[in-house]
Each structure stands twice: as C-alpha cells, then as structure tokens.
Amino acid sequence: MTEWDGNSHEVTLLTRAGCGACVGAWAELVAVCAEFAVTPTQLDVDDVAASQPDLRAEFGDRLPVVLLDGREHSYWDVDVERLRADLRK
C-alpha cells in the first residue's frame, strides 16, 4: 500500500453502458484510488450528453477515459503507475 500524503484529488472515469473495458478500468481505478483515500466517480457520457455534450463529443470514441482533477489522464487503460505518481503530488 502506498502512503498517502494528504493531498486531495478528483478522479473520474468516463464510461458508457455496455463498455466491457469500462468495467475493468473501474475496478482497477477503485483499487488504486483506495491507496490514497480518494473516492473516484464514474460518469456515463451518454447519460450526461444533454447537459454536458462536450464530454461525449471529446471522449466518446475512446472510452474509458480517466480524468484527474478535470484533465485527461489516460484512456482505454488505466495507467496505474502514472496515476499513483500523480496522486502522490
């Protein structure tokens, strides 16, 4: 387990219903975030299309996408080592 230094980050996984890769990415993301006492959120780009159309337009063709503090961190896969390093900051 990684030692958490008290910094707080927002981690969001952009997903879509029926996305098998999204399910695996979510499990991996939850495990990594738990090491840093961060609770990730999940957002279906199709569910929020009416209120946030830019999400689906920008990320909809390369899901799952990990956002760290509102910025794209990785897509298709969770870059676990990079995420750990960035959560330490």
Digit-coded pLDDT (tens) for 73-84 = 999 999 999 999
What pTM was estimated for this model as a whole?
A: 0.88
Domain boundaries, the chain: 11-87
Does the pLDDT value for residue 37 go beyond 50? yes
The model's confidence at residue 49, banded by pLDDT at 50, 70 and 90, is confident
Q: CB-hemisphere CA count at 13 Å for 39?
A: 0
Which has more pLDDT, 5 or 17? 17
Name the class of domain 11-87: alpha beta
d(CA 75, CA 78): 7
Give 12's contacts (C-beta < 8 A, 6+ positions apart). Answer: 40, 41, 42, 43, 66, 67, 70
pLDDT at 6: 52
